[in-house]
Amino acid sequence: MKMKLSSSLRRSKGKSTTTTTTKAASYEGDLKSAIEAVRMASKLCRRSQQQLKQKGVVKKDDSYASPVTVADLGAQAIVCAYLGQSAPVVAEEDTVFLRSEKGTELRNRVVELVNGTLDKPMSESEILDAIDVGRSKGGATGRHWVLDPIDGTRGFVANRQYAIALALLDKGEPVLGVLGCPNLSLENEDLDGGRDSKGGGYLFLAEKERGAFAVGIEDPEEAPRRIAVNEVEAAEAVYMESVESLHSDHAFARKVAETSGIKIEPVRLDSQVKYGVIASGKASAFMRFPDLSYKEWIWDHAAGAIIMSEAGGVVTDSTGKKLDFSKGRILNNETGIVAAPPKLHKKLIESIKALKQ
């Protein structure tokens, strides 16, 4: 299925004709591929959620802290297959367990789910090989796709929010991002209430110096609409944080919010959906202060960061330093993450510094 890109996606903001042509030649084709890949992976994830109601979650092994669902592996296979050999892929999953004897049941279910989603079936070996395309180590040279096939596993299993998160890095910098948010309805007052009766679900997308956009996840003919952060006074701001307390120190975030003048209770959502919600102007900020033992990966933030930035927001660590995605698979960030419109972001960073003195 092909998706129409609106004319606004092809125009750089305030740039010359020569610059526009160069930018379009660099990333427009990549953006089209990314949109199609994430749209199809979102279709697979919705199909899998229906199956989870009857079959539950399959774990790779009891020693793994987080369950790996059939959809995690199936979504990675589909995205990597769609991307082909356009650039190396840094992704979360591998096939070590799938290729083992103990992984036979899970392997069969992955193959069944993938081929139940695609119009043209893939062989078992093609699916396993596609998953293993994601073994790149990343780095500061060349281009790398960065994929989290299901960001927010617990949200996915509980039928809350989750995202298929795909970004393109060029020399370690995010230049393109697509977030597939199949359960999100921006029209619902309860953002974690799931999609509406019409289907719902959104794709958020951005390309460097082109702006950020949102579009319904189901209609490939729908034209994307431009989105932007909403800069409001602190007293009117709504900040977001992770559902899981391991992912963020909620008590410290509350102190930062109060010091900054934020009075409204936080909204807690799983996954990078938070970036899309803030980029759409439906919330004001995202703060994340993980435990020092919690490891951040580049796929946890790459897509959301470029979408937020292109929507006019600022994304940094809690000291105000730009996130560095060029050091490999791990995001070397021990201080936390703050994302907000410029004025509010500055205020939050100042509050953090004051509280840590």
Q: Provide the annotated active-site residues.
A: 72, 153
118/258 Cα distance (integer angstroms): 49
Angle between helices 104-117 and 17-55 (to 10 degrees): 130
12/55 Cα distance (integer angstroms): 47
* CB neighbourhood size of 107 (10 A): 21
Instruction: Find, among 211, 242, 241, 254, the residue nearest to 229 by Cα.
Output: 211
Instruction: Find, among 53, 82, 83, 57, the residue nearest to 71 by Cα.
Output: 57
342/171 Cα distance (integer angstroms): 25
Q: Measured on CA atoms in the order 97, 100, 102, 105, is the torsion positive or negative?
A: positive
Instruction: Find, among 243, 38, 76, 252, the residue nearest to 160 by Cα.
Output: 243
What single-letter DSSP state applies at residue 185? -
Q: Measured on CA atoms in the order 141, 143, 148, 151, is the torsion positive or negative?
A: positive
CA distances to 52, 59, 60, 217, 275 from 63, rounded to whole Å, are 22, 9, 8, 35, 31
Burial 215-242 (b: 16+ CB within 10 A, else e): bbbbeeeeebeebebbbeebeebbbbbb
Q: Where are the beta strands (DSSP E) in the chain?
A: 89-91, 143-151, 163-170, 173-181, 202-207, 211-216, 225-227, 239-241, 267-268, 285-288, 314-317, 337-340
